[in-house]
Amino acid sequence: MKKISAAITGVHGFVPKDILSNEDLSKIVDTSDEWILSRTGIKERRIMKDGASSDMAMEAVNALLRKKNIDPLEIELVIVGTVTPDHPFPSTANVLCDKTGMKNAWGFDLNAACSGFLFALSTGAQFIETGKYKKVLVVGVDKMTSIVDYQDRTTCVIFGDGAGVVLLEPNEEGLGIQDFILRSDGSGREFLVQPAGGSAMPPSHETIDQRMHYVKQEGKQVYKFAVTNMAEVSAEIMEKNNLTSDDVAWLVPHQANLRIIDATANRMGLPSEKVMINIQKYGNTTAGTLPLCLWDYESQLKKGDNIILSAFGGGFTWGAVYIKWAYNS
């Protein structure tokens, strides 16, 4: 029997139509276009004024199923990477399956912050590789504007809203997900956290007054960890699979900060033309960044291309996935 690997056979994304530019932000908090652009590489981000994470995910999923001409009833499993679920429970995956008519699928949410899509992709792949399922959807979605404090200029300039989805199917040609390295270190939790709303700090008048339901970030600490670990794990997966920089067609990096992306590409020995970047348009959409990159660049991807996906997020969580791209679009 030939070895079955899990291949991405389709991708789609969704971003809301409303744009929040750096100029717009400079009217809300003490910042400027030059300050944001020089430190992050972000020019604008999309914001979802009405609706929840499941609504963005629904748009991406429906478009992908139409594009692939797949009946929603054929989908067997849905994994949603998100830190902004519609509700603490039920899961956004449950809501999404209902909204899209995927009545035969079961699913769950996976919370790994900005590494959410990587963790979900690696998890979803297992169900394909074992032969258990034939069609698995992996979603990365976040409505970051719902947990961002627009009085905090250090965080509100970074984040945006968006969703992306990939379809995983079995492949016997040796294409698809080849390897992954995933890591976490909970000792870094205090540096990037949404403190209130869970069992450690349930909602109260006090938590609301103290603005504890918003993202809190120690920027310098997060940057230091991210710039080292994201670069190292990306180089590690190349070495483990005997890949040179010439062998790698694309780096798909988490879109948090242009300087972190540059450091990762440099560590891998990749020129800028091999690096997917859309941070200038969307900002950091947390679990949405990687599938949105694949969606934006899909037309440039060729069957057999060696692609490295890489991310770093709150937790801390980080990792890299090595994929052989499975189709020409």
- Helices and strands (H and E) in the chain: how many: 11, 13
Token pair belonging to 133: 């399922």
Three-state secondary-structure class, residue 4:
coil
Tell me which amino acid residue 160 is: G
SS (H, E, C) 163-224: EEEEEEEEECCCCEEEEEEEEECHHHHHHEECCCCCCCCCCCHHHHHCCCCCCEECHHHHHH
φ, ψ of residue 305 to 5 degrees: the values are: -60, 135
Strand ranges of the sheet holding 136-143, from the earlier edge strand across to the other edge: 5-14, 161-171, 136-143, 77-81, 106-110
Catalytic residues, which ones? 114, 254, 284
Closest CA to 117 of 229, 252, 264, 301: 252
What is d(CA 158, CA 214) in angstroms, rounded to the nearest whole number?
13
